[in-house]
Structure 1
Amino acid sequence: MAFYRSIKEGNLEEARRRFRPINKVDMGILSDDELRNLKYHFIISVALITRYCIEGGMEGEAAYNLSDIYIRSMDKCQKEEEVAILLKEAVDDYTQRMHIIRKQNRYPKAVILCLEYIYENLHTKISLEKLAEITGLTPAYVSKLFHKEVGKTVSEYVTAKRVEAAENMLKYSEYTCLEISDYLCFSSESYFIQVFRKHTGYTPKNYRERFFRTHWE
């Protein structure tokens, strides 16, 4: 259960390290139909994740609402591979939400609002002015407070989170480098490649060649 504890603790790196996709060899047979069998195990996994997150401090209503969203999305999946990708997304989503929850006692409310907004809006333009608007503070004070509490500037933090999102998209989707760059609001594909390489040591192309859906190989 170390995997579920890492989600409960909001430890994204550990959760990703311990994540193992549902596979045909290890899982029990709940249905003779392979896709339906995988979906049943998806529901079991999400139920366990939900329970652990509630134990870790996530509000029950929020946890179950999130569970419902993923189960409805899973119900639309037509391929086993789609179910596996969705489970990875759910693991990351729950874990990052738990990370924010566990930081709530450490960070001021304004910083929590910023972190939540950034997490939910990586695909849109994020400005100090917008963060100031949602916190009721001035842009200059938001910038100073965020850097003091988080240890990174808003720009540095947003970039790091966008790179993390890009890593997942490169590993678990077939979006092109340009599509990922546009979706995550990088100013250009060339800038995205430059930033990605700085953070990971790989170009997006090389990263995908090495890690693309390695759990299916």
Structure 2
Amino acid sequence: MNNTTENTALDTVIWDFNGTLLDDLELTIQTINQVLAENGVPPVDTHRHKSTFRFPVIDYYRDIGLRTSDEAFSTVSERYHELYMSRVSECSLYDGIPEVLAALEHRGTRQFVLSALNQTMLTSCIASLDLSDRFEAVYGLSDIMGRSKVVRGSELVRDFGIDPRRVLYIGDTNHDVEVASELGFTAVAVSWGHQHARNFDSRVKAVANHPSEILSCLS
């Protein structure tokens, strides 16, 4: 793990979901390529996806060739999520994640999920993975447009009396680093998700290359 700072007194972990906990990279690429094909746009490979994926998702869609007017973006977002949710049950947690979740629970670490996935979809995914009891709460967005998680993150902090200085926020994109910076969390990025590690924002405090490395961030 590449670590740029020491973390102390961190007793709360907030996880991103897609690409951080859930191994959905292959499904995401297959799904977006089906949407691209339906719109007459060439497919993306893993390298291009991880080089261009970002939030808000509308910018990613624009970069890979989809139309992003209000109506067009709404249509492709609905189609993408229809296809994705029809197959998300094929996905599992990344290797090593179940052990980390269990270890954190054993330590008494508070755990939450903050995701750009729609709240209803997120709750369904968490339940299908039998993870509901692992987290105090899971917070998703109210729509499927993949916008910023900052507002929902601030609501999570408020609703559960969380001290931001004691939070380790773990995600796989620069938006996760931005959320952490905005809300006063310590950010750890993971290299196994939807973004190339070399593209992470300089504000990230550490880059984990395997889930087991996350535990050392709290020691």
TM-score, with length taken from structure 2: 0.31
Which structure is larger by alpha-carbon Rg, 1 or 2? Answer: 1
Q: Which has the higher helix share?
A: 1
Q: Which has the higher strand share?
A: 2
